[in-house]
Amino acid sequence: MVAMTHLETPPVFITGMSGGGLTSAAKVLEDKGYYVAHNIPPKAIVDLLKLCSLEETKVKKVAAVTDVRSRMFHGSLLETIDEVTQLGMKPTVLFLDARDDVLIRRFDSVRRTHPLQGDETLKAGIQRERQVVAEVRERADIIIDTTNLSIHDLRRAIEAAFGDMSKDTQHVTVESFGFKHGSPRDADLVVDVRFLPNPYWVPELRGYRGTDEPVSDYVLAHPAAENFIEHFLEMFETMLAGYRHEGKNFITVGVGCTGGHHRSVAVSEEIARRLRQREDLDVNTLHRDIARD
């Protein structure tokens, strides 16, 4: 049995729905110094990682992209996850997803057929794929819903998720968003800060964002904001201990307001600032809708 101790970080398995952004995610990790193997059958991933574990191999960080097309080969991704874990390094599974209507639009825009479509409709192929990948999605460490994300937004989301990849660190992404654009489907926990006064209705603050000091000061100066943040962090402390016990090391907290410009951004930044005081956490912020109208 080969122990994969030569790698600096756990191997990353990139998977998810066809059209969900797997190729874009791979490019981000390549830019972060990962050796990325594309469209590799699950069984071949084990051989790749064994090669990477050799002292003479200079690869320090490795990721493998595998999608539903790998069904043509023997073995499953779930089996590979278990096998790699037994070899001494639990992989980080990144799952990319999106709403069906968005996936359909993406396939139509490039005039591609879905790999499971056959003689049926594109929608039928997507629904069939959802059934095939359901168990993998359940086992995923990180789920990113790319429905409302641009290429640049996706890059920021992945960079936030893969901050400090230390094995003993829990990774927390605090993501602001606007409810009018829909809640993030990949969040583990969603809180609503629309109870706070809205800077949008203050003319001199409307053009600023929650990352700007005038808006941040306005939002956080309200007594209800401080009361909420203190109680939230107290609750989240208990949740973090539970998540760690359950082996969940990637947590996304969604903080929502109306448009995702002011209140949610300011509160997200303050929550992240306080969480960063803990040495056992890698904390990043992501402001999904800060630039949207």
Binding residues: 67-70
Q: Which helix (H) or strand (E) holds 232?
A: helix 223-245
Strand partners for 36: 63
In the chain, what are the helix, strand and coil shares in percent, each to the nearest 5? 45, 15, 40
Residue 33: name the closest of 152, 165, 142 by CA: 165
**Residue among 164, 155, 143 at smallest CA distance from 276:** 164
Residue 46: partners with Cβ closer than 8 Å, 6 or more residues away: 80, 83, 84, 87
Residue 189 pairs in a beta bridge with 253
Environment class of 213 (CB within 10 Å of its CB; exposed 0-12, middle 13-18, buried 19+): exposed
- In 82-186, at which residue ranges do the beta strands (DSSP E only) sit? 92-97, 142-145, 170-178
* Coil, strand or helix at 93: strand
Binding-site residue set for GTP: 67-70
CA distance 98 to 103: 6
Radius of gyration of the chain (CA): 20
State the amino acid at position 42 in one-letter form. Answer: P
